[in-house]
Structure 1
Amino acid sequence: MLHSVQGIVIRSMDYGEGNKIIRLFTPELGKVGVMARGAKKLKSKHGAVTQLFTYGDFVFYKQRGQMGSLNGAEIIDAHHALREDLYKSAYASYLAEMTDRMLGDEEGNNYIFEQLKAGLMAIEEDKDMQIVTHLYEMKMFDLAGYLPITDACVSCGETTGITSFSPNMGGTLCSRCRFKDASTIPIGEGAHKLLRLFPRMDMRRLGSVQVKDETKEQLKRCMRTYMDVHIGVQWKSRGFIEQMEKYNI
């Protein structure tokens, strides 16, 4: 069956001497594996469209249960800047890797597609990459059914006096309940405000946000620990980001 869809390249790998296999994320078909024959060759018409993060119109033939075969493609946004900057490439790769590993094959999701598209654009436009990442992580938690409780204390339901975040218990804790988890992460008012906001925020409406370093550090601990506890995936791209942070690259 011939498909004509918009898609984003979330994975691209060499195959054989001159071919590439790409994984597209599309709003209608979800993740789709497509063979781009001859894409590695110097004069190939498919060379540019198979680059990671490319957003474009793709035409491919695919039978049920088989890999697709690329017939043609037109670039809408090549996202060159995401591949040319080390930091942007690392954070954009994390968004793409989450999409690739947390969505099922051929599982269409127009909302997540729009969030990914907006997230890549936000990184390219120099919006805070850490905030973009946390916002997308929250979308992934929601998709997987692991959205943390951030509007109230996960233990008693109290909506005031929130002082910490418990990945193990699945959300925020008030000052009276924080003793229930010895590994709870202390958070300030700024971090709690953003944790409440992330589940409801649309990436397409994200403006230029200014977040204190202390707040960002709290958010990072909360989101990464929550991801490790509930999703349990060894993220290659996040590992690279952590190495850059460790050595101040």
Structure 2
Amino acid sequence: MAQQMITNFNGILLFRRDYRERDMLIKFLTAEYGKKMFFIRGARRRGFKMAAELLPFTMGEYVGDLRDGLSFINSVKSVQYFENISQDIALNAYATYVMNLLDVAYPDNQPVGRWYQQLTSALQLIDQNVAPALVANVVEIQMLGAFGVAPELRGCTVCGRTDLPFDFSESYGGLLCQQHWHLDPHRLRASQAAIFYLRQFSVLDLAKVHSIKVKPNTAAELRRILDEIYNNSVGLRLKSKRFIDQMGSWYQPLKPRDED
């Protein structure tokens, strides 16, 4: 992209930050150019004309002056609000977490490929209260490659077999079939149900999802596996994740429809 360009763009508002006395910095994930930081002059003044269009948990089509440094928004063409996320503390927490993950995983001003659509779908599902914890799991699993940790989930990392029970080995960077479990005494000893969903979630297109149903015990085990990977292999402990842990809602669906 050129150093300066006035153009239409589609964006998901990732976060806002007060800047100076009356201004604001807003980071968008754009479909076309990746993450970009925008300087919004006068955004904190009473009567600011774009105040409603630049609220947290919004996405839309904008016209802006896009630059390699701070960019600027000229006008808003259309906007979509994630109203349930805005009003529900638990949904808010999951939405914030998946957006934080993407923000940390990718540098600014670089295209993020399919992640604009995948994040859009994730936020839409969370806003509809469709298994928010499991949607977050999908994002976590698929985001591992961006953090330089891409576990082998297609088959056994040693022999490639796909016809035996699996377990997850951090030491071997993915699955071990039953024939090679002895190679890693510290394997995670995951259930076959948890391994099944770990593999399924790694390739799931959230745009095609209308519901996700996983038994509570399996969901808790998925959470344990992903915590191990993110703590030990990625080394990432986001505040938004700690808040979810404090809520205690990782292990219990928000509504009965999320259960089998």
**TM-score after normalising by structure 1:** 0.91
Residue 193 (structure 1) aligned with residue 193 (structure 2) = no
Instruction: Determine helix, strand or coil for the equivalent of 2:96.
Output: helix
Residue 161 (structure 1) aligned with residue 161 (structure 2) = no
Displacement after TM superposition at 1:75 (Å): 4.1
Query: Equivalents in 2 of 1:230, 1:170: separation in Å?
Result: 9
Once structures 1 and 2 are overlaid, which stretch shifts more, 113-122 or 129-138? 129-138
Q: Which amino acid aligns with 1:131?
A: L
Q: Which residue of 2 aligns with 1:78?
A: 81
Instruction: Determine helix, strand or coil for the equivalent of 1:93.
Output: helix
Q: Which residue of 2 aligns with 1:33?
A: 37
Q: Which residue of 2 aligns with 1:146?
A: 149
Contact 1:4 1:58 in 2 (8 A): yes
Q: Which residue of 2 aligns with 1:3?
A: 7
Q: Which residue of 1 aligns with 2:231?
A: 228
After superposition, the Cα gap between the structure-2 partners of 1:182 and 1:159, relative to the gap in structure 1 and judged at 3 Å, is same
Contact 1:33 1:67 in 2 (8 A): yes
Residue 244 (structure 1) aligned with residue 242 (structure 2) = no
Instruction: Determine helix, strand or coil for the equivalent of 2:52.
Output: coil
Instruction: Determine helix, strand or coil for the equivalent of 1:204.
Output: helix
Q: Which residue of 2 aligns with 1:108?
A: 111
Displacement after TM superposition at 1:248 (Å): 9.3
Q: Which amino acid aligns with 2:106?
A: L
Listed one character per residue, the Cα deviations across residues 51-93 of structure 1 (whole Å, up to 9, x for unaligned) are: 2221011222233x32012212244311121121111011000
User: How many residues are treated as equivalent by the alignment?
Assistant: 248
Displacement after TM superposition at 1:220 (Å): 0.7
Query: Equivalents in 1 of 2:194, 2:81: separation in Å?
Result: 34
Residue 211 (structure 1) aligned with residue 214 (structure 2) = yes
Query: Equivalents in 1 of 2:160, 2:93: separation in Å?
Result: 38
Displacement after TM superposition at 1:217 (Å): 1.2
Instruction: Determine helix, strand or coil for the equivalent of 2:63.
Output: strand
Contact 2:164 2:178 in 1 (8 A): yes
Displacement after TM superposition at 1:246 (Å): 8.1
Query: Equivalents in 1 of 2:79, 2:144: separation in Å?
Result: 29
Contact 1:20 1:37 in 2 (8 A): yes
Once structures 1 and 2 are overlaid, which stretch shifts more, 111-120 or 47-56? 47-56
Q: Which residue of 2 aligns with 1:16?
A: 20
Instruction: Determine helix, strand or coil for the equivalent of 2:160.
Output: coil
Q: 2:52 aligns with which of 48, 56, 66?
A: 48
Once structures 1 and 2 are overlaid, which stretch shifts more, 45-54 or 90-99? 45-54
After superposition, the Cα gap between the structure-2 partners of 1:169 and 1:48, relative to the gap in structure 1 and judged at 3 Å, is farther
Q: Which amino acid aligns with 2:204?
A: M
Residue 177 (structure 1) aligned with residue 180 (structure 2) = yes
Listed one character per residue, the Cα deviations across residues 94-131 of structure 1 (whole Å, up to 9, x for unaligned) are: 11101111111111134110000000000011111121
Q: Which residue of 1 aligns with 2:92?
A: 89
Query: Equivalents in 2 of 1:219, 1:247: separation in Å?
Result: 10
Query: Equivalents in 2 of 1:75, 1:16: separation in Å?
Result: 28
Query: Equivalents in 1 of 2:251, 2:174: separation in Å?
Result: 30
Displacement after TM superposition at 1:165 (Å): 1.4
Listed one character per residue, the Cα deviations across residues 25-70 of structure 1 (whole Å, up to 9, x for unaligned) are: 011110000011122223212222322221011222233x320122
Query: Equivalents in 2 of 1:240, 1:89: separation in Å?
Result: 11
Query: Equivalents in 2 of 1:75, 1:110: separation in Å?
Result: 23
Identity level (%): 27
Residue 58 (structure 1) aligned with residue 62 (structure 2) = yes
Q: Which amino acid aligns with 1:166?
A: S
Contact 2:7 2:66 in 1 (8 A): yes
Q: Which residue of 1 aligns with 2:257?
A: none
* Shift >4 Å, 4+ stretches: 246-249
